[in-house]
Structure 1
Amino acid sequence: MSLPKRRTGKGVTLRRGQPGFDAAVLDSSFNGRDPGRRPDILVQANNVFEVIAAVKHAAAHDLNISICSGGHSWNQNHLRDRGMLLHLGFMSAIEVDVAARRAIVEPGAWCGDLDAQLRRHGLFFPVGHVADIGLGGFLLQGGFGFGSRKFGLACENVQGVDVVLADGSLVHANAQQHSDLYWAARGAGPGFFGAVVRFHLQLHARPKVTAMQSQIFDMQHLDEVVRWADRVGPEVDRSVEFQFIITRQVPLMGIFRPGIGILSPVLADSWREAREATAFIRHSPLRPLAARTAPLLPMPTTWMAKLGWFSLFPAGSRWCADNAWLTAPADDVLPAIHKVVETLPPAPAHALWLSWYPPAERQDMAFALESNTYFACYGEWKEAAGDESHQTWAGDMMRLFEPHSRGIQLADENLGKRPARFTTDRNYVRLQQIRQKYDPQGLFRSWAGVLPEQQAQQLSP
């Protein structure tokens, strides 16, 4: 099983047909599947000045721009036909002001690298759950990270962004200046209409205890686990990410046959607090049914994120993913979950249930759609021969949940194959109005697909 590759050396510019072009384009994606789409030109920018030059070149030559930083888009949203692919993955600087609890990061910096650097200073930011996720896309789509139930979405901890606009100008956007651009940068995801070259982050004191609580069930107990999770979800302390995966096996996580694995990180200020917050798992009425209940284990978030590399999201695999915010009780969605289990591809493919339970109020930003329960499917396979039979699995499964869902979140979007709501209609309209202001010619590409009714009202007042 291979590890993700770090960007090394200097970025280059390649045109279609040049030696190394195809390999460099495909290397921009975590997903090992080749969708067949190719830009006319690939620009691997090394600094802000090269980004500005690339944007000006694209505008002068009628080249629509798609952008990637870490390349973790399951849907490979940045791989489009024609135009320019602006690759920001080579821009990976991290600057930390320990005294002010601030950081400035470039879009290609990995979540795991930021977390490791902050850990040395006793600081914390809700980074993504897999170490090689690029911060650029992670922050733009919302940012569901470690501790996000306690510290807020990652994008809520973004205090400002430096953006290269369609006219090639570099602006700083925050709550006081270009506030509409700042609003859009927190939730627009791959539909954002500019190249963010720096994110200004608010940091927190690092929780004194980070630990993992796990409990494993055989698949025969699926109904009991789902109903119990649905029942206790509202009571779970905000320091805990109460979630479980459904998979055929994940030996590194103690799942040796088809089953359900509760894998819940907890971030607390004392060991006692962590134990109390996770006691509902160890002492649940389902414990007698569990194949294994582990003790609460101390585990740094850096280790948790690396565990994701090895066990659930190996590099070089081919992937399809999709998701839904559920609005119905357990019994209403269990038939669809059973269908997921019946059709589940071999490991490490899996489905995820997350008891999210958002706060009553969020900051005013483009991100605005969520619900109490999140469900997602992640299909994985190794060979191109499996593309036709596997690449539609996640979308097909999530269509079963549509009667019980209010939309999706952009981290696991599949908009090119299954258009779905990812923000409120009001926010969608506002995003299009702000796009018209900053990118009237549509230089920067938007989402791969949206619902027809949203598309029709995109410029409505």
Structure 2
Amino acid sequence: MTDPVLAHAGPSVPPGALRPRDAGYELARRELAVSAVVPGDRPALVVRAHDAADVASAVRYAAREALPVTVRSGGHGTAFTALAHGALALDVSALDGVVVDLAARTARVGPGVTSLALAQALEGTGLAFPVGHQAGVGLGGFLLAGGNGWNQGAWGSACESVLDAEVVLADGCRVVLDAAADPEAFAVLRGAGPAFPGVVTSFRLRLWPEPVVRRRSVRMQVADATGLRAAGEWADALAAEVAPEVELTLVLAPAREGTGVVASVTAFGRDDAHTDALLEPVSGGLPASTHAVVSSATTFAGLLRAEPERTGAGCVAQQAWSRAGYADVLPRLAPGLAAALSGASSVLVSSASYRRSAPPSPDPLHRPLGPLTVAAYACWSPGEDDDANLAWPTRTLAPLADVTTGHYIGESDLRRTPERLARCWPDGGIARVRELRRRLDPAGVFRPPPGLY
């Protein structure tokens, strides 16, 4: 039987295609994942598209040659869904144009645009967008997954601010999907992540008035699960008091003695006085484990520049939604943090009220499935206990099983836990995705992620 990796060695391949024998193939293969430690899957072709025409050409070629298509849309996710043996791996990260319409308060962006690039393009315009929490987050995968972005307590998930999307379908046709053209396809596009049966080549985004951004960081050092519970009780009380425009995020990392906890309280106000008032609840009743409080004024781009990027490292993530409080969740994480193999690994626990200003209609497939999100990130030097580090996020979140209400497709290791896919959407969500795939991709051109069938 012919190996599908070797079967497509002829000259008639799509523009930008790299075959296994070509110089640059291995680098392009590895760049299909953000992690420096990647599975051994060898796509038959890696196609680096530079415009929508390249995308359409690649999809038509794949359909003719019976090659399953996988997509790297922005390239930040750690789930390795763009890698599959014998597939045509379509890398659209070079589609990174940004066009801002100040009068309409909209932007047209390519899927390869990063959060930092969009934030920088909007600096000085008086407008903003709920971009991802790290500079390198590509908007394609972020928006398809739903988009847990900045200020989502007030603005909702980022996909709710998508007005339309230009898409290449399984037959190579280019269409615009919005709430009028195809309400169900547009709804599923905003949340299906790698299960969406098409390639988005651009999004039109609603922009928001730029807020005044200020942050107060509370740094703690706790010795054990009891200390984590105390920190959680403080966070629960604060979360109940702050307004929707305040984001409360705790980052837990293994320390020499116990666990280091940084509580970042970020406020997005109308003006200086409003922002100061939003942060006022942080001033009182700090935990006894507090050793520093740092205040700063910044911008969306400044928030992103302050976040460390995980470049050149192995990395993988797992996430869980929960309706439990910080005081219940944090102590359960103690065993995993104590067993971390790398000091660069961490767990993020964040709450948002999701009281939204103007939710669009129809609503997207994506929903936050609980008021608390818990995400474990393994980050390590390649070659140092790779298998154990890859397993660490799943093991660390295992004690939350009885209080987990779902998962976020953008931060789920579906290769390791494919059963989680069905819990990435509200009840009936996986059936909606399957039905849309039957309608838009009856021949199965786009490879489904693990767990869909």
Q: Secondary structure at the match of 2:23?
A: coil
**Aligned partners of 1:201, 1:120: CA distance in 2, in Å?**
18
Q: Secondary structure at the match of 1:120?
A: coil
Contact 1:369 1:422 in 2 (8 A): no
Contact 1:215 1:292 in 2 (8 A): yes
Q: Using a 3 Å threshold, how does the CA distance of structure 1 residues 414 and 317 change in structure 2: closer, same or farther?
A: same
- The equivalent position to 2:250 in structure 1, one of 237, 244, 267, is 244
Look up the match of 1:222: 228
- The equivalent position to 1:142 in structure 2, one of 142, 146, 155, is 146
Q: Using a 3 Å threshold, how does the CA distance of structure 1 residues 287 and 342 change in structure 2: closer, same or farther?
A: closer
- The equivalent position to 1:151 in structure 2, one of 137, 152, 155, is 155
Structure 1 residue 70 corresponds to structure 2 residue 66: no
TM-superposed deviation, 1:235: 2.7
Map 1:14-413; keep pairs closer than 5 Å: 14-207=18-211, 209-220=212-223, 221-248=227-254, 258-283=259-284, 285-294=285-294, 296-309=295-308, 313-330=309-326, 332-359=328-355, 363=360, 364-413=363-412
**Aligned partners of 2:416, 2:68: CA distance in 1, in Å?**
21
Q: How high is the TM-score relative to the length of structure 2? A: 0.90
Q: How high is the TM-score relative to the length of structure 1? A: 0.89
Q: Using a 3 Å threshold, how does the CA distance of structure 1 residues 125 and 30 change in structure 2: closer, same or farther?
A: same
Q: Secondary structure at the match of 1:233?
A: helix
Aligned residues: 430
**Aligned partners of 2:334, 2:384: CA distance in 1, in Å?**
27
Contact 1:234 1:357 in 2 (8 A): no
User: Which amino acid in structure 1 is aligned with residue 222 of structure 2?
Assistant: M
RMSD: 2.0
Look up the match of 2:6: none
TM-superposed deviation, 1:30: 1.6
**Aligned partners of 2:257, 2:117: CA distance in 1, in Å?**
31
**Aligned partners of 2:408, 2:437: CA distance in 1, in Å?**
20
TM-superposed deviation, 1:198: 1.0
**Aligned partners of 1:124, 1:330: CA distance in 2, in Å?**
30
User: Which amino acid in structure 2 is aligned with residue 43 of structure 1?
Assistant: V
TM-superposed deviation, 1:332: 4.3
TM-superposed deviation, 1:288: 4.5
TM-superposed deviation, 1:356: 2.2
TM-superposed deviation, 1:123: 0.8
How much identity, in percent, do the aligned residues show? 27
Q: Using a 3 Å threshold, how does the CA distance of structure 1 residues 146 and 333 change in structure 2: closer, same or farther?
A: closer
**Aligned partners of 1:385, 1:156: CA distance in 2, in Å?**
40
Contact 1:28 1:70 in 2 (8 A): no
Give a deviation string over 1:412-432, Cα, whole Å, max 9, x none: 111211231100231221121
Structure 1 residue 437 corresponds to structure 2 residue 430: no
Contact 2:221 2:259 in 1 (8 A): yes
**Aligned partners of 1:14, 1:337: CA distance in 2, in Å?**
43
Look up the match of 2:430: 428
TM-superposed deviation, 1:122: 1.3
Q: Secondary structure at the match of 1:75?
A: coil
Give a deviation string over 1:248-279, Cα, whole Å, max 9, x none: 36xxxxx9984100112221112222222122
TM-superposed deviation, 1:17: 2.5
**Aligned partners of 1:144, 1:118: CA distance in 2, in Å?**
19
User: Which amino acid in structure 2 is aligned with residue 400 of structure 1?
Assistant: P
Contact 2:213 2:299 in 1 (8 A): yes
Look up the match of 1:7: none
Q: What stretches of structure 1 of length at least 5 have no aligned partner?
A: 1-10, 250-254, 456-461
User: Which amino acid in structure 1 is aligned with residue 150 of structure 2?
Assistant: F
Contact 2:74 2:141 in 1 (8 A): yes
